[in-house]
Amino acid sequence: MLKRYPGKELHEHDWFPALWRDQLTDFLSFFNIYSGIYRPALNRLRDLFRTMDLPPVYTDLCAGGGLYDWRFAQKLSRSLGRTLRVRLTDLYPSYRRWKEIEDLSGGMVIPADRPLSARAAIECEEGLHVMFSGLHHFSPEEIEEMILAAVEKGRALAFFDYSQRRRLLWEAFMMFNSVPFMILTAPLVWKFSWKRLLFTWIIPVLPLLLLTDGWLSRLRAYRVEELRRILDGIPFPSGWRADTGRDSVYWNTAQITYLIVLPPGMRKK
């Protein structure tokens, strides 16, 4: 998704920025769903719900368009054999998209009723908080603030990001391959839009935005050692567990960086 600039409010009536943001997040949701890029995240969250006493409603801190959250919650629920629900939060909510997905999901998706920053959502919503492809949008100080808020409120965090600031030549090759994928799949992305076809096939604004955003995301991505330094600088109370690392996907041609923080007392007996 496009970089969020603090203090710049985006509302539904600001049609120009909203157009590019929504079209790009719709494609990225489509990519995340059908590429299986976050399969390692699915496995890790499944294990957390099996071993931890977590509420059946979890929160996405940067939900974007929300479609991926519904599909991911479906897969996670099937793997656990019980129904989970996901709460959508974002500093710049897509209320129209969220309402449509809430109706399609039959109640599995719960949209927040107001804009919420990641830290505010951690402070006011209980349970597990997840984030997909959002970690690189936050400064080290903001990540530390989110973790400290989780410690204060006793929340669990599980953040995942496929953007990598390593093997940049390989990352550039993979990123350029995403352009023909966008061009070929433009009519298949939900929700169908003639504007998407226009700005993909005729005026290639969206492919250019995808390349620009993708490259900036990789340049801003955190290395594991950088996240570990953030964790090492936080005075966790006794019993808290915090871990960061990388999981491989696509036969190690891509990797997912994860950051997980777990409070004590949640392990199932």
- Domain residue ranges in the chain: 15-262
Architecture of domain 15-262 in this structure? 3-Layer(aba) Sandwich (3.40)
Residues 98-126: tens digit of each pLDDT:
999 999 999 999 999 999 999 999 999 99
What string of H, E and C letters represents the secondary structure of the chain? CCCCCCCCCCCCCCHHHHHHHHHHHHHHHHHHHHHCCCHHHHHHHHHHHHHECCCCEEEECCCCCCHHHHHHHHHHHHHHCCCCEEEECCCCCCHHHHHHHHHHHCCCEEECCCCCCHHHHHHHCCCEEEEECCHHHCCHHHHHHHHHHHHHHCCEEEEEECCCCCCHHHHHHHHHHHHHHHHHHCCCCCCCCHHHHHHHHHCCHHHHHHHHHHHHHHHHCCCHHHHHHHHHCCCCCCCCEEEEEEEEECCCCEEEEEEEEECCCCECC
Residue 19 is which amino acid? L
Question: pLDDT below 70 — which residues of the chain?
Answer: 1-19, 266-269
Q: Are 252 and 263 in contact (CB under 8 A)?
A: no
pLDDT at 2: 31
Residues 180-195: tens digit of each pLDDT:
999 999 999 998 999 9
pLDDT at 172: 87
pTM for the whole structure: 0.90
